[in-house]
Amino acid sequence: MIGSELDAAGVHDQALREAYQRCRTINAKHGRTFFLATRLLSPAQRPAVHALYGFARRADDVLDEFDSRTTAQRADELQGLATSLFTRLVENQPSGDDPTLDAVVHTARKYNLDWQLFDDFLASMRMDLTVTDYPDRAALDHYMYGSAEVIGLQLLPVLGTVVPREEAAPYAAALGKAFQLTNFLRDINEDLTRGRVYLPADELASHGVDRDVLTWCQQTRRTDPRLRAALAEQHALTRRIYTHAERGIALLHPRSRPCIMAALTLYSEILDRIEEIEFAVFAQRATVSSARRLQVASVGFVRALRARARHQEV
């Protein structure tokens, strides 16, 4: 299957094909919902999406893998990744042996992705080395622009639009933000274990929640009523961002709409699960069942086939 995708994408060099295969494997292993949604794209689109995901995951693993590396070592590794990408993409010089970079550079050139998008992403990744709390919404939004919104902006040329790209860009960025806010709500326990809180401190404080309250909730695996109220507020805000982002799906190329609609549906249903468990996020992880993922994917697959047929694609 990957061979036919690469053929459709015009990737024939064997080393580059292996690089894209590496990225696809990373996506399949770590991004179950996202990988499932990418199956709804046309074969020609999939390798680029896998490459962009592979790079993002490569940077994320530097920061979040539980091992013995110090902060300084992680900083050096992240800087090395940034330097290698800059050397290849901007200076057009070979740098090191990293298949994920080979694929992402090829994708960036094919779709004319600006270096600034990658630089902004890496800037937010560097923040994770030292920043553990966000005092207000503006500070968190600054982080999320680089860590989530630029991902949507990177994917937009791959997805294609029926309007000028800049008209669709705010919606693509909003969807990236909605996905990440969903992760913040679902993974609050895991993030706290890493010493991080990805919710605005002033908004938590308005409900009487601080680090001590969060720590108590984690230790007891219970959700304090004050935290439940704070999470409900964050939940409602994230819902509104999904509603806004969904308006942008009609601006995408028809062949891409089933994929993005499926991803939006499945990620937003994580919010349903969080609400169903009454925000008991320290006791269990809110997930969408495999059966539901397959159901959404099946509907999306039929829609994707119809869209490709209308546009004479395979």
Tell which of 77, 107, 130 closes a domain.
130
Residues 32 and 96 in one domain: yes
Does 301 lie in the same domain as 217? yes
CA-nearest of 263, 299, 234, 203 to 37 is 263
Last residue of a domain, one of 80, 111, 130: 130
196 and 251, same domain (yes or no): yes
Range of the domain at 126: 1-130
Helices marked H in the chain — which ranges? 2-8, 14-30, 32-38, 46-64, 71-89, 99-110, 115-130, 137-144, 150-159, 165-186, 188-193, 201-205, 211-220, 225-246, 257-276, 290-310
CATH number of the domain to which 87 belongs: 1.10.600.10
Amino acid 312: pLDDT? 62
What parts of the chain have a pLDDT lower than 70? 1-2, 66, 95-96, 311-314
Residues 232 and 282 in one domain: yes
pLDDT for 32:
73
Structural domain contains residue 162: no
Query: In 3D, which of 277, 291, 282, 287 has the Cα closest to residue 223?
Result: 282
Q: Are residues 73 and 200 in the same domain?
A: no
Residues 67 and 182 in one domain: no
d(CA 119, CA 121): 5
Tokens found for residue 121: 């992403």
Q: Which of 75, 103, 130 marks a domain boundary?
A: 130
**What's the pLDDT tens digit per position in 113-141?**
999 999 999 999 999 999 999 999 999 99
Could you tell me if residue 145 is inside a domain?
no
Number of independent structural domains in the chain: 2
Quick check: is 151 in a domain? no
Shared domain for 123 and 176, answered yes or no, is no
Q: What is the pLDDT, as a whole number, of residue 258?
A: 94
What pTM value is reported for the model?
A: 0.92
245: tokens are: 């982002």
Q: Is residue 156 part of a domain?
A: no
Question: What do you get for the CA distance between the two ends of the chain, in Å?
Answer: 13
Tallying the residues shown for the chain, one arrives at 314
What integer pLDDT is reported at residue 314 of this predicted model? 46
